Amino acid sequence: MSLNAVPHLNFRGQAREALEFYRSVFGGQLTVITYGDFGMPAEVPGAQNVVFGEVVAENGFRVMAYDVPGTDEPVVDRRTTRRENGTTITEEPFFLSVRGSSVGEVAPIWDGLADGASVIEKFGPAQWAPAFGMLADRFGVTWIVDVAQA
């Protein structure tokens, strides 16, 4: 038996858009099931929101997401992540990390996630890795993209 830890992201009416974006970056299959698919009447606010969604890619990438019931207002009061004196300062409860074996493997992922993102640490060589970068994507999710040290 094997276990996998899969990030599960919580949104406020943006889960479908976020999952479609992540599929465009990582590839793979997108599954979206709405509250309406589970029987909520179509005229009820939130029926079109995602109750279960995931992207599963052949390269092993997997992320799940849903829309928290009760509001479609995007969260605007995000915790902050910033650089100060060469150090990353954060109040984020978690980051999502994508680690590959070569710069060529992860550079396109960085480029995709960077579309509409706030770059915290520019992608490039680091003391501890051939390449490393950190950004908050257009949905406010903080990602680390790096290359495993040989």
pLDDT tens digits in sequence order for the chain, 150 residues long: 655 789 999 998 999 999 999 999 999 999 999 999 989 899 988 899 999 999 999 999 999 999 988 766 655 555 566 666 666 666 666 789 999 999 999 999 999 999 999 999 999 999 889 999 999 999 999 999 999 887
Query: Right CATH number for 81-147 from 3.30.720.110, 3.40.50.300, 3.40.50.1980, 3.40.1160.10?
Result: 3.30.720.110
The structural domains of the chain, with segments of one domain joined by +, span 8-67, 81-147
Cα angle 71, 40, 21 (rounded to 5 degrees) comes to 55
d(CA 89, CA 81): 6
The structure's pTM equals: 0.81
Enter the DSSP assignment of 21.
Answer: H
The answer to whether the beta carbons of residues 147 and 99 sit under 8 Å apart is yes
